[in-house]
Amino acid sequence: MSNFKEEEIRFLKGVGPKFEKRLNNLGINNLKDLFYYFPRTYQDRSDFKEIRFIRPNEMVSIEAEVLDKDLIKRGKYKSVFKVTFTDGTDTLIGTWFNQSYLNDVFESGQKYNLYGELSKKSFFKYNKKEMINPTYEEIGNKNTIIHTGRVVPIYSLTEGLTQKRLRYIIYRALKDHLHKITDFLPEYIIDKYNHIELEKAIFNMHFPQNRQIFVKARNRLAFQELFLLQIVMLKRKKEYKKVNGIKHHSFNEKMDDFLDRLHFNLTNAQKKAWQQIKSDMEKKEPMQRLLQGDVGSGKTVIAVMSLIKTIENGYQGILMAPTEILAEQHYIKINKILKGFDYNIDILVGGVKGTEREDIIKRIKNSQADLIIGTHALFQNDIEYYNIGLIVIDEQHRFGVEQRYQLKQKGDNPDLLVMTATPIPRSLALTVYGDLDLSIIDEMPPGRKPVITTWRTEKSRSKIYNFVKEKIKKGEQVYVVCPLIEPSEELEANSVLEIKEILEKNYLSEFNVIALHGQLSSNEKNKIMSDFVNHKIDVLISTTIIEVGVDVDTANIMVIENAERFGLAQLHQLRGRIGRGQKQAYCIMIADPNTEEAKKRLEVMTETNDGFRISEADLEIRGPGEFFGTRQHGITDLKVADILKDRKILAKANQEANQLTEIYNWSQKYKKLAKKVEELTIII
């Protein structure tokens, strides 16, 4: 491939400087880009019909001969050009507007393929068969038929570039240059999976010969894409492990001490995850581990254990949360759990300012602070850590990959533990988080009852709040979640402030109803949360700021207003706030959805509490691009593979990538592959 990388696409047939720019607009800058610019979809134009049988409302191909032509000029630029065709069964008129040059293209007696649709007006009003602007292609030499009479590629376009032009450019480029491409997959893999050659695969992605070959082409390209991606991830993972990290010693007594003070026993899944983390931390290589577990599965305890371990080893531990509320929550809770441990615990969030902030920064720098809990504020430039041993990032799905590394820069290759409640299926996790080792907590603490979830409409409001009232009288606490803070003119959704008024005036006037939202100051928010925890508040109305991590186990009822406005993952996270104790919890979604997708989301919520199933449903409803957010590890850059539909290929690609990268000196043995991986590493 390299020998013609410099070859400029401007010199390709059909391009030139003008079209080069337009190709650039599509992200096509060289031949390789062009080869890999795969069709958005295909159109089957291979079914021919006789003219006598065609009717309006169907796209058809015909093969016909030019009988006659007629160019009518209308002023300087305007013209109508009509060609009469026949196929022996009937005649048909092809009409083109303002393309007078076509008069020089069509000659009587020539044979053409046409692809188009009959004009309804001509057919029904004038009893004539006419196609306006049909696709045409002369059939002199059968080999060059590319626009008609076959399965035809349809590309995404840009201004000034037509399907026909781009199709021609790509076709010519493939014919003239594709043979120069080198197949970089190791031969043993090609043999093992009986993959077709790269050249053939690429050609057939654009111009499929038949269905069978097309499927093989697609499978091979999907495989290679996922295979390469996985190698990049694994390579990256190996590279971190090469550096010298922190070798933690075990402090088993401390840990036993901690476990003794807990009012529960760890689940087997928690124990297993802890063993993996412990063993990682005791190695010289830096830990890079993802701890995955559904909401409420008990990740926090494990995080705390690993933080104890680093502190006992004389290092600073860091716990980063995505929101201030969550950071505060962790701070309060962890202070409680670690009461007898004599650690200095600090909290640093955006709201902390002035001398208070300076004091904390000082404590961090001179090693007075053992455990620092916070938000992004933890890695502002002016904060210097004394010696970080472990960074725990909670709720990873809110952090970008880059941020992860930015934070790591703050220490000397500290251990890293990333926690996520997004329960993506394992095969996907391996790809998306391929650069991390994976621990899964796939077991809930015992005695949890699934939250009873119902979906009601606006009409049931008074019934719902009567139910809520009865529950509060029995000593329960309630969350009410709204999509908005203030009433909005544009959006028809309930706001925190409106609902507060309604509940205070009508349904729940005898109780203490408080609103919590992002516009309050940190102090106000903290006060509300601690009042709620201490049961001074019966009903907490809030926006989704309570979505992640908030843990108040006496609150067991949740009403979600305008639930149709929330995403599935978000609903699941919200619901995860309740049902943490022994009591039966209820989640009531009030929603009047007007899309099928929204309906599906609500149905899934009522059907299951299982995060994995919800996650899969979410992935199906939204598709991987949106599911993973933008720029997650190249997943969204996939051109051919569909990580949902290509699960099997994904599993194989992962397996092969794992095996290959275990081979000593694989990059020497498979130079072409190594080069390809190198190119990709820069992009992803």
What does 445 bind: ligand ADP, Mg ion, none (CB cut-off 5 to 8 Å by kind)?
ligand ADP
CB 555, min distance to ligand ADP, A: 12
282: phi then psi, degrees, rounded to nearest 5: -85, -5
Side-chain half-sphere of 207: how many Cα atoms within 13 Å? 22
Give the H/E segment covering residue 58: none
Tokens of 527: 């006060």
Which residue, 414 or 611, is less far from ligand ADP as judged by CB? Answer: 611
Per-residue string for binding with ligand ADP, 365-404, x by CB under 6 A? ----------------------------------------
What does 219 bind: ligand ADP, Mg ion, none (CB cut-off 5 to 8 Å by kind)?
none
Per CB under 6 A, contacts with ligand ADP among 98-157 are none
Is the distance from CB of 185 to CB of 666 less than 8 angstroms?
Answer: no
Cα 362 to its chain centre, rounded Å, is 39
CB 451, min distance to ligand ADP, A: 13
What does 149 bind: ligand ADP, Mg ion, none (CB cut-off 5 to 8 Å by kind)?
none
Which residue, 222 or 555, is less far from Mg ion as judged by CB? Answer: 555
Cα 56 to its chain centre, rounded Å, is 42
What does 276 bind: ligand ADP, Mg ion, none (CB cut-off 5 to 8 Å by kind)?
none
CB 540, min distance to Mg ion, A: 18
CB 580, min distance to ligand ADP, A: 5
Which residue, 138 or 551, is less far from Mg ion as judged by CB? Answer: 551
Per CB under 6 A, contacts with ligand ADP among 284-343 are 293, 295-301
What does 567 bind: Mg ion, ligand ADP, none (CB cut-off 5 to 8 Å by kind)?
none
CB 296, min distance to ligand ADP, A: 5
What does 298 bind: ligand ADP, Mg ion, none (CB cut-off 5 to 8 Å by kind)?
ligand ADP
CB 214, min distance to ligand ADP, A: 45
User: Which residue has the closest beta carbon to ligand ADP?
Assistant: 298
Q: Using the 8-state DSSP alphabet, how is residue 86 labeled?
A: E
CB 263, min distance to ligand ADP, A: 8
Tokens of 87: 């196929």
Q: Which residues, 6+ apart, have CB-to-CB distance to 421 below 8 Å?
A: 292, 293, 294, 295, 297, 299, 395, 397, 548, 573, 576, 611
Which residue, 297 or 431, is less far from ligand ADP as judged by CB? Answer: 297
Which residue, 208 or 576, is less far from ligand ADP as judged by CB? Answer: 576
Which residue, 230 or 270, is less far from ligand ADP as judged by CB? Answer: 270
H helices of 10-66, where?
Answer: 16-25, 31-35
Is the distance from CB of 257 to CB of 337 less than 8 angstroms?
Answer: no
Q: Which residues, 6+ apart, have CB-to-CB distance to 393 below 8 Å?
A: 320, 399, 404, 407, 416, 417, 418, 419
Which residue, 549 or 579, is less far from Mg ion as judged by CB? Answer: 549
CB 382, min distance to Mg ion, A: 29
CB 427, min distance to ligand ADP, A: 22
Integer Cα distance of 626 and 484 in angstroms = 22
* Residue linked to tokens 């046409």: 114
H helices of 117-162, where?
Answer: 120-125
Per CB under 6 A, contacts with ligand ADP among 541-560 are 551, 553
User: Which residue has the closest beta carbon to Mg ion?
Assistant: 549
Which residue, 554 or 681, is less far from ligand ADP as judged by CB? Answer: 554
- Alpha carbon dihedral 77, 15, 213, 48, in 10-degree steps, equals 20
Integer Cα distance of 551 and 296 in angstroms = 9
Q: Using the 8-state DSSP alphabet, how is residue 20 labeled?
A: H
CB 508, min distance to Mg ion, A: 29
CB 549, min distance to ligand ADP, A: 6
**Which amino acid belongs to residue 493?**
A
What does 398 bind: Mg ion, ligand ADP, none (CB cut-off 5 to 8 Å by kind)?
none
Give one word for 57, left, alpha or beta, with left for phi > 0 and alpha for psi -120 to 50. Answer: left
What does 301 bind: ligand ADP, Mg ion, none (CB cut-off 5 to 8 Å by kind)?
ligand ADP
Question: Any contact of residue 609 with ligand ADP (CB under 6 A)?
Answer: no
What does 297 bind: Mg ion, ligand ADP, none (CB cut-off 5 to 8 Å by kind)?
ligand ADP
> Shortest CA distance to 50 belongs to which of 62, 35, 34, 36?
62
For 121, other C-beta atoms within 10 Å of its C-beta total 12
Give the strands of the sheet with 452-456, arranged side by side. 452-456, 586-590, 555-560, 477-481, 539-542, 513-516
Integer Cα distance of 230 and 253 in angstroms = 40
Give one word for 534, left, alpha or beta, with left for phi > 0 and alpha for psi -120 to 50. Answer: alpha
Per CB under 6 A, contacts with ligand ADP among 421-450 are 421, 445
# chain residues binding ligand ADP, by CB under 6 A: 17
Q: Which chain residues interact with Mg ion by CB under 5 A?
A: 549
Integer Cα distance of 201 and 206 in angstroms = 9
CB 395, min distance to Mg ion, A: 7
What does 396 bind: ligand ADP, Mg ion, none (CB cut-off 5 to 8 Å by kind)?
none
CB 647, min distance to ligand ADP, A: 26
Per CB under 6 A, contacts with ligand ADP among 476-535 are none
Cα 634 to its chain centre, rounded Å, is 10
CB 265, min distance to ligand ADP, A: 6
Integer Cα distance of 473 and 470 in angstroms = 5
Which residue, 411 or 549, is less far from Mg ion as judged by CB? Answer: 549
For 547, other C-beta atoms within 10 Å of its C-beta total 25
> Shortest CA distance to 434 belongs to which of 229, 584, 256?
229
Q: Which residues, 6+ apart, have CB-to-CB distance to 35 below 8 Å?
A: 173, 174, 178, 181, 202
What does 553 bind: Mg ion, ligand ADP, none (CB cut-off 5 to 8 Å by kind)?
ligand ADP
Which residue, 267 or 310, is less far from ligand ADP as judged by CB? Answer: 267
Which residue, 153 or 549, is less far from Mg ion as judged by CB? Answer: 549
Per-residue string for binding with ligand ADP, 216-255, x by CB under 6 A? ----------------------------------------
Integer Cα distance of 264 and 678 in angstroms = 49
Contact residues for ligand ADP, defined by CB under 6 A? 264, 266-267, 270, 293, 295-301, 421, 445, 551, 553, 580
